[in-house]
Each structure stands twice: as structure tokens, then as C-alpha cells.
Structure 1
Amino acid sequence: MTKPPSRGGSGRSRTGPGGPARPPRARTGPRNTARDAAERAAGLVVSSRAGPAPRAAFGRDTSDASPWERDEAPARVPAGKFPPKPKSERPRSDKPRSDRPRTGAAERPATRTAQEGRPTARPRRHEGRDERRETGDAPRRAPAESGSAATSPPTRRALREATAEALATGVQTLEVTPDEAGMRIDRFLSARFPQLPFTRIQSLVRKGELRVNGKRAKAADRVEPGASVRVPPLSLEARAPAPGSPRAEGDLAFLRSLILYEDQDMMVLNKPFGLAVQGGSGTTRHVDGLLEAMRDKDGQKPRLVHRLDKDTAGCLIIAKTRLAAATLAKTFRSRAARKIYWALAAGVPKVRQGRISTYLAKEEIGDSDARMRVAKHGDEGASHALTYYAVVDQAGQKLAWLSLKPVTGRTHQLRAHAAHIGHPLVGDPKYFDIENWELPGGLQNRLHLLARRIVIPHPRTAKPIDVTAPLPPHMAQSWNLLGFDAARYDPIVEAPEA
């Protein structure tokens, strides 16, 4: 009795009598996956039938688990063309098949006769192809690229466009180029994806959604050449105004009005009171966003190298090139930049010149806008903070004009140190805690803190750059009412450097 074939099989044995075993057919999976469709839509790969796919400019996805769980992206159709309809949707004739006219050679002359009254359509001529048919020549192919043109690395603009196009389709793994080595992970992503708000990038880092070489990335991590950065699926947003738009022109004019110093490598802005340096929760207008209006033709945007609090006015350094940004950042880390602040404090310190040396830590760990408290050495999150101060002038025993020189750069360092010695800064909503203290008439209840002066080596020539910022309007009003002279000698210049 013959054994019936299994369902879906042919009923024949895989091996013939005395013949070698037939190898099992390789299972290649579906031909069109979501990842293939997304990459084809982004123009980053070609079909595997035409040979191996070229390496994408932004790197390859090397994660073990398949991240492509999103719906397959629709394939793009050229403008003016539509995909052919399936046979089941094509219109059919109502006549029976036996009654349909045959389109053989006998009926074709009759069809031509019926159309003799119409003008004959001019035959379409394809230049090049028709000549080859007449001469019998083979089609010519463009010569393959050779030399440095075929192996030249992609430009930063090409990398940014490729990653921006592909990121919206799913998880991607980006490869760090030598030019991007040493960048912080958040700055690296901001440079690759200018459409993505910086607050979104910071949220990704904080939640641990970014992986560098398979490990969770921290905000302070710096990328190395050849490293793989795994980015989760994101929806890109248009962050910057279009070049030449009224908004972009307005932002550019506003930034130009703030410039205190500028050359081809850097510039120093006079940041006004109330303007944030970077975006945050509910912050839509900030310096980093305004700098989008200053992008050059290669897509490079000026970079921040340090920060000021939102309500602190004064000198803010901006790097115009990546090399300048790296050099200036190193200068700040090595404490080679000298900074002088002016402030208006409540009361007058008994010691007119001195130093404040404490450890500072956040009251709530993880909150970027939390108050800083004076801590002990060894406390969680505690860092040493050192500030020199001097009393420049005073208004009775009510108010004092302080000049401050921070050696370290901790969060809210000057504001926390002023409150620590019992003389908080006027208008400080976080650290002013003196009870029954009334603001003198005519003074505005705004933070009176100015980044007055900065001296820093030039990132390229190493020559010192010395820039001074004027008093903001609310502090100028207070200085005028209190009789302070901004040209008065500032004794803080005699303070030590460390």
C-alpha cells in the first residue's frame, strides 16, 4: 500500500534509490521586510538581487534583537505614475467571451481603415536608443568611479541628511566618524539630527534609550571614532525656521544685536535677563534655538561651550567651529577661563573681602532645576565649590554691591554661596529667604546677577580675549538709584586664581 503524501508535499521521497541526499532548501524568509522597505524608501540600499547593498553613510544596525517592529513604510512612486492595478481589478467586457472580436491579423487592417480619417500620430523617437537599434551598437554604460572619488568619505551634511531620512523609519545604529570624536553624546546626536529638539535628546539620554557599543549612554559620555550609537525610533520635527523666513531673519538680527566680540572662531554674546541658554520643559525660546538662524551653507551651527542661568545676564561664549568648541570646552574644564560677576546682595558682609569654600549638592537628586544645598565631603552628589568675593560699594547697611570670582563652576554656585554667608542676592526666587525684608522703592524684583567680564585664551592663537558686558536694564536702574558708579575700581581683580 502506497503511503499518501503529506499535506503540501509532492509525495516523492527526498532521496532517490541509491542517489545522494538532496540538501534541504534554505529558508530565506520574506523577500520584502519592513526594514528593506524603509531603507529603500530612504534611498540607502539597493535590492539584494543586484549585488551586495552599499554601506549606508550613517552606519549599520548591528543590534542582536530585531528593532523593526513598526509597520512597513509604503514604497515611493515617481510623480505622475501610478502602480499597475491587479488583474482582478481591471475592467472586463460585458460581452460573452465567444462574442468578443478577435484581434488577429485579419481584423487589424479593418481597425486601421476605421481610423484613416484621424491624423496619424507622430511616432515617438528616443534619442540614442533608436540609433543603437539602427547601427546594432551595444548600449553604452557610464564608466565606474575609480580612485579617491569612489572611496571618499561622506560629508557631514550627507551624513546628517541620510540619518535624518532613515531615523523616522525605525531603530538605527550610527557610526562615529573621526571628525566627531570627543563629542558629548547629546551634542553628537544634535549635530546628526538638527530637526530634533535638544530637550528630546536629553530625555533619551536620561531614560537610558541610547546605547553606545551596547551599553547605556550617560550625558557626560564622549563618543570615540568607530563607536556604534544605537538610536530608538523617533519622529523628527522641523525645529529651525526656514532660511530667509521672517522668523529666521528676526532671530539673526536679534543675535547680531547681542554680539560683544566676534571673529572667525568664536563670539561673545551679551545674554539678556530671562533668556534661557538651552531648552527645557516649557521653554521654547532659548539661545541654542536662536543659533539655528546662523547655520552656514554646510549646515554647521555655532555651539555653546558653557551656560548661564536663565535670569543671569552677561557674557556668554559661543564657538563657531567644532575645533574652537573643543578647545574652549577644554579651557573651561581646566579652569583657565577667568570670570567676574557683579551682584546686588541683601545686607553688607562684615568681612569685605574673602573666600567661600564649601561642598554643594542638589536637594533632590535627578532634578536639573533643584536647589543646591551646602553639603559635607562624601555626601551623595557633593562637589567642591570655591568662590572669592569683594564688597565694591554699599547703600547703608541695606544693600551691597558684590564682585564675585568663581574658581569652580557648580550649578547655582554664586547664588548658593551668597545665601550661605547670609547675604542672598536681590530678586533670587530660589535662595532669598530673609523674612520681613522689603525691597527698596524703585528696585525691580529681578535677579541682580551679571556675568560682567570674562578673560579666556583664544582657541586658535592662545592670545587672551578680554570682554566686558554692560549692566542689564534692571541692574542699571538699581545702580542709578543707589548711586553706584560702574567705573569704580573692582578689588576682585586682586583675588587669587585658585
Structure 2
Amino acid sequence: MKHIIEAQTPAAAPAVKWLLVDEESVGQRLDNFLMRHLKGVPKTHIYRIIRSGEVRINKGRASADSRVEAGDQVRLPPVRVSEKVIEKALHPAPGREFPVLLEDDFLLAIDKPSGVAVHGGSGVSFGVIEQLRQARPQAKLLELVHRLDRDTSGILLVAKKRSALKHLQDQFRERETGKTYLALVKGEWPAKLKVIDQPLLKFLLPGQEGQDGERRVRVTTPDDPDGMRSITLVKVAQRWAGATLLEVTIKTGRTHQIRVHLSAQGHPIAGDDKYGDFEWNRQLQKLESKGLKRMFLHAWRLQFNHPGTAERVALQADLPPELKAYLDHVT
């Protein structure tokens, strides 16, 4: 009997590539341009090949902060991608569309459901942006303009042009957007407490076996050099026995800002599994079929200047059915 041995074809060795800079990439820094095209290659390696002169623009050496222009030829040296990137290519995120609030040639505004991360990473294989890209293979560009926590629902902006991405992110950075959330908190919110101006500090919980633990945020003192000034505006929308529905507008977009600011005032958000009242959360979950199974934080309204027309845009995403049902049950 003959034994048939199937030879494994070795993977082709990486080769030099030349990329033509298109209109969408005009004005982008070289390091950012490379990170977009060399997915899975560590940032340290990208900066190394730039410094060594292996990356060239129109056959000339360039620095990380060089700006690329339309028609430039960018030389990419042979690089190997990580096993994680290869695995993602073999098992891509499932394509998924989300409820659309606004869409044109510049941007896409969706109503993100709770429980879905906006992007993959930190133990999450994929998120909204990976699923959108898979569902829309013809799209030239889909990039997150900002972020929402995994358990927060509501308005999320995605740019469809590089120019729109920069324009919108500049507005978020310069606090030119209006972002208002709906949050249900424990207890009776004080009517006079309308502004929270407390700096926030990021830290890591202790990890196991020398590894970093989970990221957390806490209120710190005004004189803390590592604290980031954070401003939250609060308006009471409705009161119930033992709980208050708030309209919360953030003037700064810090990580977990609303959750930490409200909790630090003694009024944690219902269902918050990081900064909440865990015993209260358990009680809320037990309310028969209408129990609260998620955090009650929803990105409700968003205002911004349109990157194409400069007109002021006002979007609203109504409370999702599960939060409406919960409020109907407790009122």
C-alpha cells in the first residue's frame, strides 16, 4: 500500500510593497498611514522601520510626522503580521447592520444596542466597527468617531471619509458637540446639584500573577497632577420612590465619566456592574420578567456640525424597548 503524504505549502515570504496615497489619506501622518495599512504589526516595529529608513516616500527617507500627499508612493518593507491578525482573517467578524439614524456620503449615525463593544480588543473578538466593515465590504472607509461603553446604548457616529473623521473628532476634542445621556440612578437626586466639576484619574486593579488588572476610574483631588478635569451637567427628568431619571450632558468625554461622577455623589447608575450598588442591582434584576438586565445608561441626544455642509445636526435615539419596559413596570 502506498502512503500519500500531502506536502504543506510554505507561506510566501513577505515582500516589499508600494502604496499609492489616495485622496482619503491626504495630510495624514506617515505613522498613522502605516498603522492603517499594517494591521497587526506592533507600533514599536512601525516606528523602527521608519527610523531605519526602510519606509520611503517617493524613494526618499521620511520621519514619523511626515505628511503624505495624493499621488505619493510609499515603500513598505517586508513585514510579518501577528498570528492574531491571521486568525481574524480566517474567522472574520459576522457582518451586522445596526439601526440607522442618519447616513450620507460623509458619516453614518447608528443606534448601538447595549452589550456590544464598539470595537474588538481586551478580550472582545469583535465589535460594532468590525461587524459593519464585514457587512459593507464595498465601503472605502468606516472609522469610529468616538466611543461608547459596551453596556451603554445609543447614538454612535462612524465616519465614511477621512476628512469627516478629522472634522468630527476635532469637534469632540474642542467640546463643540452636545452629548446628552439618560441615566437612572439610585435615590433622590438633589435638585440643586446641577454641575459636577471633579477631576478623574485612571488606575488599574491588582491583577493575577503579576499581570495588570482591569482598568478603573475614580474621582481625585483638584491638585492631583494626574487628574483630568471633568465636567458633567445634570438635570432631573423624573422622580420615583428610590430612583431618579436624569438627563446628563457631558462637557468632557472622559472614560466612564458619567458612571464615576454620579456614583461619587452617592447616586450610582442602575445596573452598573463596575461602579454601582451591587445589592441594589440584584434587587432590580429580580422584578419578574421586567427586571433590569443591563446598565441604565443611554446616549440619547447628540448635536454636531456636519462635516460636509457645516449645518448643525441634532440626533435623538429613543430609549430602547427593554429600558422603556422597565420604567413602565416601576411607575
TM-score scaled by structure 1? Answer: 0.52
Alpha-carbon distance in 1 for matches of 2:126, 2:143: 16
1:170-207, CA deviations, whole angstroms, 9 ceiling, x for partnerless residues?
Answer: xxxxxxx993534595x5345314xx4xxx46xx34xx
1:98-143, CA deviations, whole angstroms, 9 ceiling, x for partnerless residues?
Answer: xxxxxxxxxxxxxxxxxxxxxxxxxxxxxxxxxxxxxxxxxxxxxx
Instruction: Tell me the CA shift for residue 382 of structure 1.
Output: 1.5
> What is the root-mean-square deviation of aligned Cα atoms in Å?
3.4
The residue correspondences of 1:415-494 to structure 2 (distance < 5 A) are: 415-433=259-277, 439-440=283-284, 441=287, 442-483=290-331
Structure 2 unaligned residues grouped into runs of 5+: 1-11, 53-63, 69-73, 206-210
The residue correspondences of 1:18-417 to structure 2 (distance < 5 A) are: 38=13, 42=15, 44=16, 57-58=18-19, 154=20, 156=22, 179-182=25-28, 185=31, 188-193=33-38, 196=39, 200=40, 204-205=42-43, 208-211=44-47, 213-214=50-51, 223-225=65-67, 233-235=80-82, 236-237=85-86, 239=88, 251=95, 254-255=96-97, 257-293=98-134, 295=136, 297=138, 300-364=140-204, 369-379=214-224, 381-396=226-241, 398-417=242-261
- The one-letter amino acid of 1:57's match is W
Q: Is the 8 A contact 1:273 1:472 kept in 2?
A: no
Asked which structure has the greater CA Rg, the reply is 1
Alpha-carbon distance in 1 for matches of 2:161, 2:213: 28
Instruction: Tell me the CA shift for residue 228 of structure 1.
Output: 9.3
Alpha-carbon distance in 2 for matches of 1:475, 1:446: 9
- The one-letter amino acid of 1:292's match is R
**Size of the alignment, in residue pairs?**
292
Q: Are the structure 2 counterparts of residues 267 and 367 from structure 1 closer, same or farther at C-alpha, using a change threshold of 3 Å?
A: farther
Alpha-carbon distance in 2 for matches of 1:394, 1:401: 6
- The one-letter amino acid of 2:47's match is R
Q: Is the 8 A contact 2:186 2:243 kept in 1?
A: yes
Q: Is the 8 A contact 1:324 1:460 kept in 2?
A: yes
Alpha-carbon distance in 2 for matches of 1:237, 1:293: 16
SS in 2 for 1:57: strand
Moved more, 460-469 or 372-381: 372-381
Alpha-carbon distance in 2 for matches of 1:183, 1:401: 44
Alpha-carbon distance in 2 for matches of 1:184, 1:411: 28
Alpha-carbon distance in 2 for matches of 1:354, 1:231: 56
Alpha-carbon distance in 1 for matches of 2:326, 2:163: 41
Alpha-carbon distance in 2 for matches of 1:231, 1:349: 59
Q: Are the structure 2 counterparts of residues 300 and 351 from structure 1 closer, same or farther at C-alpha, using a change threshold of 3 Å?
A: same
- The one-letter amino acid of 1:316's match is L
Alpha-carbon distance in 2 for matches of 1:334, 1:478: 36
Q: Are the structure 2 counterparts of residues 281 and 308 from structure 1 closer, same or farther at C-alpha, using a change threshold of 3 Å?
A: same
Structure 1 unaligned residues grouped into runs of 5+: 1-36, 45-55, 59-153, 157-176, 216-221, 484-498
Alpha-carbon distance in 2 for matches of 1:241, 1:400: 47
Aligned-residue identity in percent: 29
1:124-175, CA deviations, whole angstroms, 9 ceiling, x for partnerless residues?
Answer: xxxxxxxxxxxxxxxxxxxxxxxxxxxxxx355xxxxxxxxxxxxxxxxxxx
Q: Is the 8 A contact 2:198 2:231 kept in 1?
A: yes
Q: Is the 8 A contact 2:180 2:302 kept in 1?
A: yes
Alpha-carbon distance in 1 for matches of 2:150, 2:75: 35
- The one-letter amino acid of 2:86's match is E
Q: Are the structure 2 counterparts of residues 314 and 386 from structure 1 closer, same or farther at C-alpha, using a change threshold of 3 Å?
A: same
SS in 1 for 2:226: coil
